[in-house]
Amino acid sequence: MNKILQILFTIIFALSATYIFLYETERYESHAVVALKDLAKKQAMDSLGSMFMTGVSEDTKSSKLLELYIKSHEMYDFLEYKFRLSQYYTSEKIDILNRLYEDATFKFHEANQENFLAKFNEDLIITYDESTGTLAIDYANADRNTSKEILQAIIDRSADVINQFEKANARVALGFIKKQVGENQAAFIESIKEMMRYQNKNLTIDPNVDVQTQSTIIANLESELMQKEVEYNSKAKFFNKNTYEMRLLKDTMENIRKNINKIKHKMTGQGTKKRELNENVFDYELLKNEMEFNKEIYRQSLINQEELEIEVSQNAKNLLTITTPIVSESYTYPAKYKDTFTILLILAFLYGIIMTVLTILKDHRD
């Protein structure tokens, strides 16, 4: 039994090694490093401050979205149009175990969109380095020149579409902000009209000005009253209070007092059912504050609209190529010696397990 197992495992190992060294497709990997930079946004913190930031940065999110796009059906369809990848994955350039077939027995060998994309992603490796904010992109193909051309096409396509994501979001936001601008403008205009209706109804431009005017009049009247009182008291020492001049002076002082009280009542609303200046000032300030508030909202919405219109029209993000794709001088996959040694270890491990089980069974029978 031991001899049979040894021969069986030796044959399996020999066949595997032969396949790896002689038949498995040799793929040449091209390598490039890119970095996604947002040129529209200024850095708000220096490198020391950024060490204390929590959460995922905007550049990280954008890089991860770009990685998802590169691995997507859309990117594959773009490369299919340029390089006919489906023909490549079903051609004899690919070894029989990794090739896709139109009439495959097993589903994972079928030549369909899911398997084409899966094969493409097997040949594609994307690694994001958070410390430098760079994406390392590797693509392997049976033809060394094609691997470089496809990788360069991936980078060029990514540079074209990266701003489309931002612009699409900006267009949605712009549509919403335009609606808000219209509503805010209508509210601002209505508040102006409400102010004008109030001014026309109360025959005033600004009740505060009226209050200041009335206060000035009161101050002048009180000053005049003080002068008349001084004059009256001075003359009362020498003249009879019943003389015509003294009575006239006294009536003048009384009229001045009445006018002062009348104006004060008008300002404070005492002794009348009419709306007085203090109430008008209160209502006016409410209308004025509402108009100023609507004006500020309208102004901010216009600023936001202008910023979004700029964002839609410009390419804010740039895909910077740190290292350009190169033509590989030698194949990268398969790692023949490593894969062969791995198979040897697996077979040795399985052989050991089987022999242990057989020994236990034999001892149990005895």
Given CATH 3.30.1890, say whether it is the number of domain 26-41+57-174+317-365. Answer: yes
Q: What pLDDT digit, counting tens, does each position of 41-83 carry?
A: 544 444 434 444 445 567 788 888 889 999 999 999 999 999 9
Nearest-angstrom CA–CA distance, 140 and 332: 8
Taking all residues of the chain, what is their mean pLDDT, rounded to a whole number?
82
* pLDDT for res 279: 67
- Of residues 263 and 359, more confidently modeled: 359
The answer to whether the beta carbons of residues 144 and 332 sit under 8 Å apart is no
- Of residues 163 and 353, more confidently modeled: 353
Residue 85, judged by CB atoms within 10 A of its CB (0-12, 13-18, 19+), counts as: buried
* pLDDT for res 229: 81
Least confident of 278-282, 288-292, 331-335: 278-282
Q: What pLDDT digit, counting tens, does each position of 145-204 carry?
A: 999 999 999 999 998 888 776 677 777 888 888 888 888 889 989 988 988 888 788 777
Nearest-angstrom CA–CA distance, 36 and 63: 6
The answer to whether the beta carbons of residues 312 and 177 sit under 8 Å apart is no
Q: Which of 191, 181, 205 is nearest to 291 (CA)?
A: 191
Nearest-angstrom CA–CA distance, 342 and 263: 105
* pLDDT for res 210: 61
Does 334 sit behind a cis peptide bond, omega within 30 degrees of 0 on the bond before it? yes
pLDDT at 36 over 60: yes
CB atoms closer than 10 angstroms to residue 24 = 19
CA atoms within 13 A on the CB side of 159: 12
Q: What pLDDT digit, counting tens, does each position of 204-249 carry?
A: 766 666 667 677 877 887 888 888 888 778 877 777 777 888 888 8
Domain boundaries defined on the chain = 26-41+57-174+317-365
pLDDT at 277 over 70: no
Residue 100, judged by CB atoms within 10 A of its CB (0-12, 13-18, 19+), counts as: buried
Average the pLDDT over 296-300 and give the result.
90
Helix (H) or strand (E) holding 43, with range, is none
Helix (H) or strand (E) holding 175, with range, is helix 144-202
